[in-house]
Each structure stands twice: as structure tokens, then as C-alpha cells.
Amino acid sequence: MMNLRNLCAVIVIALLLGCAQAPDIPGLYHAQNGDAVVRLTLGEDGKGLWSTEDDDVPLTWEIKKGEVWLHTKSGGVLPGKIGDDGVIRLELPSVGNLEFRQVR
């Protein structure tokens, strides 16, 4: 039977692993939205950029609860699910689903 000390060690290790940022997440991603391409740049420093043909939106990002959370300067938060295939899937109101595939 596991004693309290071992249980605490297991919990601490699980928390540390759960909070770690996946090393392969930073990079450049593209998603297709009709005829338009949406670019998502995720920097290793937690900063990023959401780019369309008409606009560039600076953001910060983090891994939280197994998802990529995009934080805009205006206070918005967009959680994206990370698939086993490395695709980041976002569901946006009035836009629908976007699938961001890493291109570099």
C-alpha cells in the first residue's frame, strides 16, 4: 500500500508534468477559412500573433488543462484542443471550427 509520502511525491510529479509546456507546440500554424488563410504564430516565449489578410492580433499563449489557451490583449481567451496529430482545433463563434496545422 502506498504511504502518504509516496502519494505526495506522485501528485507533485503529475502536477509538474501537467504544467510543463509541450516543446513541439511553438511554431507557425495555418488554418483555412473559406478562401482565406489564418496564420497563428506561437513563440517559445509565450507570445504569439494571429494574422489574417486584413489584421494582425498580438496575443500570449499557454498550455492549460491539456489545451492551448490564446489570450488577446483585449482580455479574450480562446481555448484550442491539441489533437494527437498535432493539429490545434479552435471553435470560434460566428466563424466555426478552425484547424491549425503546423507548417514550421
- How many domains in the chain? 1
Whether 5 maps to a domain, the answer reads: no
Residues in CB range of 63: below 8 A, 6 or more apart: 19, 20, 21, 22, 25, 69
Whether 76 maps to a domain, the answer reads: yes
pTM of the entire structure? 0.75
Q: How confident is the model at residue 94 (pLDDT cuts 50, 70, 90)?
A: confident
- What's the grid cell of residue 8? 505526495
Mean pLDDT, rounded, for 87-101: 93
- What's the grid cell of residue 11? 501528485
pLDDT digits (tens, 9 = 90+) for 55-89: 999 999 999 988 999 999 999 999 999 999 999 99
Whether 21 shows a pLDDT value over 50: the answer reads no
Whether 16 maps to a domain, the answer reads: no
Whether 46 maps to a domain, the answer reads: yes
Residue 66: give its domain's CATH number. Answer: 2.40.128.640
Whether 6 shows a pLDDT value over 50: the answer reads no
As a whole number of angstroms, the distance between CA 88 and CA 84 comes to 10
79 contacts 71 by C-beta, under 8 angstroms = no
Whether 80 maps to a domain, the answer reads: yes
pLDDT digits (tens, 9 = 90+) for 24-57: 899 999 999 889 999 999 999 999 999 999 999 9
Q: Which domain holds residue 72?
A: 23-102
